[in-house]
């Protein structure tokens, strides 16, 4: 009898090990490397995400796909870096088609859906406008609730929100007309981050009996750019514990939206335990790029980029290295800290592996699923990490051998800077003159690591003309 019972337990353990995990990817918007307590933050409370780090893995060298939102999301979805992915920048209103995924672009959601996962996007999309092939419903998501347009997503109190391809009217009325929904509300009533949190929790509870993938793409702590000049760049229903802090209102609001976001993560963690799916659910929390200052907040007050140099829109570490934690109770090793470099391009192959699916060939990312499963794992030899950035000219960055960071700013003929990230995390000492071989290698990579895109021609910073 005891042998029979043991066999049953072993069989159940094997089934549990083979069961596809639920996957939740929580993406903050413009959160700096130093804005979580587990990454050194002293002024803003983030107890729930800090608990995720204590119960899982803290990644100290995780990189976003780009220093701004749309291309970073394109890298995340396609597993291709900004020299290969479809969307390579924030195109704005003048060239919206360049900011849409196309029918031939394969996303992580499409792969997981084919592998039997229920899929949902709650929040900001930004890489597929109305009427395009890049709509979430056409790129693998069964359900979508949030913002298609990134300018719309600036406004946490918009007049409408999208559910699949339909507009849902909210009670907020804008002070000035806007085609996109961007702007500021006359009377802020419906705070969309709260609505999205409620929607995410409802969806997870409804899918608890089958494998699911939730991409919870937050709009916090991104500023309301259009509201900044009116003193409403950091809007939040209440300032909570920060209302009596001797800080300017934008700083109080910035701290409050982060703590409110953290509370929503706490609600999610509680739901996973309540529904009994906690130990079969992987959650990754990260940010789409570095810290912003558009809402009028002071990055120096919060030491928002920690030991790093630069903010959003910079290819220095502060613009692209993002705070990242992964939690999978009973599977990931609790309290672990990992200093190997990973990036958004790794997400698609990692999630495909976890789902038992085959990713597309020729991706720029590699799977780190074995690390998440706490299985024997030797990080593979990585090809150099590559980024390009098209705002204000054409800038490039590459990391060689996980150590050497080369950056070329604004022009293809600009001098290349070189930093040793092992000894100089703040990128303060340019070692280019001392390492001509590495500079030659970086220059070669700046040409070979990318392919040209007609949607994203290379432009000169001074003239604005193509090169």
Q: pLDDT by residue (tens digit) across 424-453?
A: 999 999 999 999 999 999 999 999 999 999
| Structure tokens, 261 | 């976001």
- How far apart are the C-alpha atoms of 356 and 333, rounded to whole Å? 22
The per-residue pLDDT for 73 is 98
Q: Please tell me the class of the 385-448 domain.
A: alpha beta
pLDDT band of 407, cuts 50, 70, 90 = very high
CA–CA distances in Å: residue 448 to residues 105, 202, 452? 22, 46, 10
pTM of the model: 0.95
pLDDT surpasses 50 at 5? no
pLDDT at 225: 95
Tokens for 402, please give them: 């996980």
Cα–chain center distance at 33? 12
3-state secondary structure the chain: CHHHHHHHHHHHHHHHHHCCCEEEEEEECCCCCCCCHHHCCCCCCCHHHHHHHHHCEEECCEECCCCCHHHHHHHHHHCCCCCCCCCCCCCCHHHHHHHCCCCCCCCHHHHHHHCCCEEEEEEECCCCCCCCCCCHHHCCCCEEEEECCCCHHHCCCCCEEEECCEEEECCCCECCCCCCCCCCECCCCCCHHHHHHHHHHHHHHHCCCCCEEEEEECCCCCCCHHHHHHCCCCCCCCCHHHCCCCCCHHHHHHHHHHHHHHHHHHHHHHHHHHCCCHHHEEEEEEECCCCCCCCCCCHHHHCCCCCCCCCCCCCCHHHHECCEEEECCCCCCCCEEECCCEEHHHHHHHHHHHCCCCCCCCCCCCCCHHHHCCCCCCCCCCCCEEEEECCCCCEEEEEECCCEEEEECCCCCCCEEEEECCCCCCCCCCCHHHCHHHHHHHHHHHHHCCCCCCCCCCECCCCCCEC
Compute the distance between CA of residue 369 and CA of residue 432 in angstroms, rounded to an integer: 36
pLDDT of residue 14: 39
C-beta atoms surrounding 361 within 10 Å: 5
Span 342-361, average pLDDT: 97
Q: Once rounded to an integer, what is the mean pLDDT over residues 355-366?
A: 96
Q: What is the mean pLDDT of residues 15-30?
A: 84
Residue 395 has which token pair?
A: 């800038």
pLDDT of residue 338 exceeding 80, the answer is: yes
* 8-12, 156-160, 190-194: least confidently modelled range: 8-12
Which is more confident, 16 or 175? Answer: 175
pLDDT for 4 beyond 50: no
Residue 2 has a pLDDT of 47
Residue 11 has what pLDDT?
Answer: 36
User: Is residue 462's pLDDT more than 70?
Assistant: no
Query: Per-residue confidence at 6, pLDDT binned at 50, 70, 90?
Result: very low
* Average pLDDT score over residue span 182-188: 96
13 pLDDT band (50/70/90 cuts)?
very low
Mean pLDDT of 391-398: 96
Quickly name the fold that domain 13-372 has: Alkaline Phosphatase, subunit A (3.40.720)
Alpha carbons 158 and 192: distance in angstroms, whole number? 8
Q: How many CB atoms lie within 10 A of CB 313?
A: 17
464 pLDDT tier (thresholds 50, 70, 90): low
Query: Please, are residues 351 and 114 in contact by the beta-carbon 8 Å criterion?
Result: no
pLDDT tier at 8, thresholds 50, 70, 90: very low
Q: Are 183 and 174 in contact (CB under 8 A)?
A: yes
- Does the structure show a pLDDT above 60 at 182? yes
Report in angstroms the alpha-carbon separations of 414 from 279, 284, 324, 421, 431: 51, 37, 32, 21, 16
On the question of pLDDT at 265 being above 80, the answer is yes
pLDDT digits (tens, 9 = 90+) for 53-104: 999 999 999 999 999 999 999 999 999 999 999 999 998 777 889 999 999 9
Candidate from 193-197, 315-319, 372-376 with smallest mean pLDDT: 372-376
Rounded mean pLDDT of the chain?
94
Examine the pLDDT at 322 and tell me if it is beyond 60. Answer: yes
Annotated domain spans of the chain: 13-372, 385-448
Would you state the pLDDT for residue 277?
98
Q: Is the pLDDT of residue 463 over 90?
A: no
User: pLDDT (tens digit, 9 = 90+) per residue, 24-48?
Assistant: 999 999 999 999 999 999 999 999 9
- Whether omega before 221 lies within 30 degrees of 0, making that bond cis, reads yes
pLDDT of residue 1 exceeding 50: no
Give the whole-angstrom CA distance, residue 151 versus residue 174. 14
Fold: same for 13-372 and 385-448: no
Nearest to 51 by CA among 320, 288, 272: 272
């Amino acid at each position: 009898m005891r042998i029979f019972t043991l066999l049953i337990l072993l069989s159940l353990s094997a089934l549990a090990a083979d069961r596809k995990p639920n996957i939740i990817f929580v993406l903050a918007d413009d959160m700096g490397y130093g804005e979580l307590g587990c990454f050194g933050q002293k002024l803003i409370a983030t107890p729930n995400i800090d608990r995720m780090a204590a119960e899982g893995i803290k990644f100290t060298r995780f990189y976003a796909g780009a220093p701004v939102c749309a291309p970073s999301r394109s890298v995340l979805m396609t597993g291709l870096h900004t020299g290969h992915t479809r969307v390579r920048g924030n195109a704005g209103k003048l060239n919206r088609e360049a900011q849409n995924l196309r029918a031939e672009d394969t996303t992580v959601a499409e792969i997981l859906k084919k592998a039997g996962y229920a899929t949902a996007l709650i929040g900001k999309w930004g890489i597929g406008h109305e009427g395009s092939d890049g709509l979430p419903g056409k790129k693998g998501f069964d359900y979508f609730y949030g913002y298609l347009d990134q300018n719309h997503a600036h406004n946490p109190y918009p007049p409408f929100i999208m559910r699949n391809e339909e507009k849902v009217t909210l009670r907020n009325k804008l002070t000035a007309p806007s085609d996109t929904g961007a702007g500021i509300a006359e009377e802020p009533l419906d705070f969309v981050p709260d609505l999205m949190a409620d929607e995410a929790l409802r969806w997870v509870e409804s899918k608890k009996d089958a494998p699911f993938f939730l991409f919870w793409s937050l709009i916090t702590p991104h500023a309301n750019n259009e509201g900044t000049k009116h003193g409403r760049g950091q809007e939040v229903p209440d300032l909570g514990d920060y209302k009596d802090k001797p800080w300017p209102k934008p700083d109080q609001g910035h701290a409050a939206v982060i703590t409110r976001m953290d509370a929503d993560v706490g609600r999610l963690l509680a739901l996973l335990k309540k529904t009994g799916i906690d130990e079969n659910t992987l959650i990754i929390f990260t940010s789409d790029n570095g810290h912003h200052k558009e809402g009028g907040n002071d990055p120096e007050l919060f030491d928002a980029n920690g030991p790093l140099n630069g903010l959003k829109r910079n290819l220095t570490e502060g613009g692209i290295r993002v705070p990242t934690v992964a939690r999978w109770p009973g599977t990931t090793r609790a309290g672990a800290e990992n200093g190997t470099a990973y990036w958004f391009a790794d997400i698609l192959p990692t999630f495909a592996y976890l789902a038992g699916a085959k990713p597309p060939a020729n991706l720029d990312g590699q799977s780190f699923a074995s690390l998440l499963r706490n299985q024997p794992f030797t990080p593979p030899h990585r090809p150099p990490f590559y980024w390009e950035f098209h705002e204000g000219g054409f800038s490039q960055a590459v990391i060689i051998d996980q150590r050497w960071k080369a950056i070329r700013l604004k022009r293809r003929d600009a001098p290349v800077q070189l930093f040793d990230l092992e000894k100089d995390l703040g990128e303060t000492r340019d070692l280019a003159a001392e390492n001509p071989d590495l500079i030659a290698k970086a220059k070669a990579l700046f040409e070979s690591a990318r392919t040209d895109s007609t949607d994203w021609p290379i432009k000169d910073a001074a003239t604005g003309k193509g090169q």
